[in-house]
Amino acid sequence: MYLVRKRVRAFLRVKPTADFAQDMIKFGPDNKSIEMCLKKDAKKEAMNSRQTNWSFRMDGILHNTSQEELYETVAKKLVSEALIGYNGTIMCYGQTGAGKTYTMMGTTTDYKHRGIIPRAIQQVFKATAQSTDPLITVRISYLEIYNETLFDLLSTVKNDESSDMQMAIVDCPEGLYVKGLSIHTVSLEEDALGLLFEGENKRVIAEHALNKHSSRSHCIFTIYIESRFRFFSDVKCVNSKINLIDLAGSERLSKSGSEGQLLKEATYINKSLSFLEQVITALADPKRDHIPFRQSKLTYVLKDSLERNCNTVLVANVRGEAAHLEHTLSSLQFATRMKWIATEPVLNETYDREGTVKALEKEIALLRRELAMHDSLANRSLVSYDPLSHVQIEEIKSQVHRYLKGAIDEIDIVNLRQIQEVFKQFKLILSQHECEVEARLRSKYALIDKNDFVTIAALHKAGVVDVDGHLVQDEDEQAFDTRAAPSPRRGRKKKSRRNGETSRKEGMRSNLSWKDVEGDLPSKSQVMFSTKDLDVKEVPRDQDTANVNAELSEPSPVEDSQQPSSPPPRPAAFEMFKEEYGSEISRIFKENKSILLDRKKRRSTVTQRINSIKLEMESIKKALEDQQQERWQQGEYVDEKGHIIIDEKEFLLIVKLKELKEEYRCSYAELQDLKAEIEYCQDLVNKCRNKLISEFEIWYNESFLIPKGVLEALKPGGNIRPGMIPINRVMCLHAYSKTMSSLEQMRKKPGLIPAAGKNKTMSFLHVT
């Protein structure tokens, strides 16, 4: 949903008086700006550096305006938006005797002097009478906050000392409400006005020097509007509410002269208004994270009106006499801070679950009738869209099995449910095959969980697996076997079929690596070892070595004495190379590999530590949330500076969470360093492996593949070092030299090859 941020609108209303200080209060020509000037008192202060000039800008200045003009400017648009689903709040703020109650209620003797509340009720019911599509239900409530105690002004039960214990402010995701507050449904404007005047008569009013009818409590009159559209009467519902707030006036005891009960009431009033100013200041500051709504009942009740989904309007009532200019200045500063508050009003739409179910059932029935009509138009047989029966499921299962066996080429499908059932049967068959494969593997192999560190450690100690849990195998041999090219067969006699099969089997055994079969494992979290490998001791290894040595000792027949003898198998030659010529490179490779394995092991340990820290942090955060929720339900305590007081348990959780965060940051930094080291070590291992393989290729070619005649031409001291020319080029050079020597012998015999033919043959050989 797209949210539109709005500022709180603030208007200034000046109480009409004959003693208006025109030389100190001046209004701008746009009727929105106001300038104030306070004169310095030279008698009281010899050195007075206080500011004397102020300038304010409101959304409108209402001076010498009627009640009707006030309502048109301040409340009419807000009430209209509330009728379509947006919450609204109108609040009157100012000093005692400034006309707040008159602005809200007006007078009961003259109809023209009605206030905002009666006119809002009239507008709501007039819209209800004119509306034909939505069914509008109107309800009202009237809440009083007197000396930090909640009272229901429309309650039929007599107020007593325990009334506040039955009423409580509840904050939930749907919004804030007062538990125990009575809400009355009204269908006529007269009934609503009757309840309004009934609650107004119950308000606490007293007389003091500044006001003969001073309100001694804060009052909130709420109009609840619920609209249900006829077409969506069982589903869609639009809810909104209008809070009309008449705050008690702030007063200075030096001017009002309050004593006794009036003094106690004035203390509660000034205290709650002071907390309200703190909340407004915090809301106007975008850098503030905590808003002290729970400091008083007034600020807690106004939380939705100030912070959340609501259109809010403030009317600052002031007195224009010179004696009250300081209080007027304070009210203007409060209104300016209110204008900096941003709200996000949204349309309040809800959907009834039972109505939604009924509407969906109707839609399903309509769609089924439409499908039946399409089937009949398409000349298709009657298709059932109901859930499949047991017989139909068995038939689909049989068709799937026959399809997999190749007995049928297609599966009969006529609706979506059958398609879903076909895929379900395929999934069941696949899972059955997986279980069968796993059972066969378990009969031949021992499956060990990678998380079973005790078993892995025992196998590592026995030399069966390495540090990572893989079967022990020379990584350099594996890399060589996968990358080395097959030896040339040109000019050699064919071996017997039996020897060929034996060599193929041995080649398969030597080329088979652990990584090649790792993809066929039943689970990635398990390590699989052959049971035969676990049972066989050193004797099979000695036998394999004896067999390899026996094969190496058998000479292979050669066609020409100039060609090299049959070279040994590359794995055996590689072992010879590592012990002699490539011993230094092999040593460096093994050292780098051991360092890499050590870094990987440390990385695994650090990762496990980070995960455990993260889990502990999440549990502490959850405990903190529970503590905060419990504190909010029981009520928060603040000190003199406005800071929240927390218990020792919550403080220890906060300290522990802070320590864990620091430990998490250090471990994460260590993990990043280890990753960089592993990447560097892996690069070194790869380079050493490539160097080892390339040096072995050169050594193997020099030792076994290059013919003796060519090898004589490539002895040390020449211009070409062995290894610089690829072996295929060397062999081509040897074949070319043999051909040239044969042609030279034939040329010496007269009549065999003419000169022209010789040139052509030489040219052909050159091209080849």
The more confidently predicted of residues 256 and 85 is 85
Instruction: Tell me the backbone φ, ψ of residue 41, rounded to 5 degrees.
Output: -100, 100
Q: Is 95 annotated as a binding residue?
A: yes
Q: Where is pLDDT greater, at 704 or 430?
A: 430
Confidence of residue 370 (pLDDT cuts 50, 70, 90): confident
Above 80 in pLDDT, residue 635?
no
Report the pLDDT value the prediction gives residue 93, as an integer from 0 to 100: 94
Please provide residue 446's backbone torsions phi and psi, each rounded to the nearest 5 degrees: -100, 120
Q: What is the pLDDT of residue 640?
A: 66
Tokens standing for residue 768: 């080849």
Percent of the chain exceeding pLDDT 70 equals: 70
Give the Å distances, CA to CA, from 104 to 68, 200, 232: 12, 11, 36
Of 680 and 444, the structure prediction assigns the larger pLDDT to 680
**Beta strands 88-94 and 134-146: pairing type?**
unpaired
| Model pLDDT, residue 356 | 75
Rounded distance between C-alpha atoms, residue 284 and residue 529, angstroms: 68
Tokens 């003898």 belong to which residue?
A: 565
pLDDT tens for each residue of 291-346: 889 889 999 999 888 876 789 999 999 988 888 888 899 999 999 999 888 888 88
Q: Does residue 212 carry a pLDDT above 90?
A: no
- For 9, half-sphere exposure in the C-beta direction (CA atoms, 13 angstrom radius) is 17
Higher pLDDT, 615 or 208: 615
**Residue 197 pLDDT > 70, yes or no?**
yes
pLDDT score for 23: 81
260 is known to lie in a ligand binding site: no
**pLDDT the model gives residue 234:** 55
pLDDT at 735: 54
Q: pLDDT at position 468, please?
A: 59
Residue 492 predicted with pLDDT over 50:
no
With a cut of 60, say whether residue 474 has pLDDT above it.
no
- On whether 608 is known to bind a ligand per the annotation, the reply is no
pLDDT value, residue 103: 93
Residue 94 marked ligand-binding: yes
Task: Give tens-digit pLDDT for 595-608.
Answer: 999 999 999 999 99
pLDDT value, residue 92: 94
- Per-residue pLDDT of 531-562, as tens digits, reads 444 443 333 434 444 443 443 344 443 334 34
CA-CA distance, 663 to 669, in Å (whole number)? 10
Alpha-carbon dihedral sign for residues 570, 575, 580, 582: positive
> What pLDDT was estimated at residue 125?
93
Residue 350 annotated as part of some ligand binding site: no
- pLDDT > 90 fraction of the chain, expressed in percent and rounded: 28
Q: Which of 412-416, 448-452, 583-587 has the highest mean pLDDT?
A: 583-587
- Residue 221's pLDDT is what? 95
pLDDT in tens, 649-708: 888 888 889 999 999 999 999 999 999 999 999 998 998 989 888 888 888 887 777 766
Residue 581: exposed, middle, or buried by beta-carbon count in 10 A (0-12, 13-18, 19+)? middle
Greater confidence (407 vs 257) lies with 407
The whole-number average pLDDT for the span 384-399 is: 86
Residue 547's pLDDT is what? 41
The 3-state DSSP class for residue 145 equals strand
Q: Quick check: 112 pLDDT over 60?
A: yes
- Which of residues 469 and 430 earns the better pLDDT score? 430
Question: According to the annotation, is 287 in a ligand binding site?
Answer: no
596 alpha carbon, distance to own chain's centre: 35
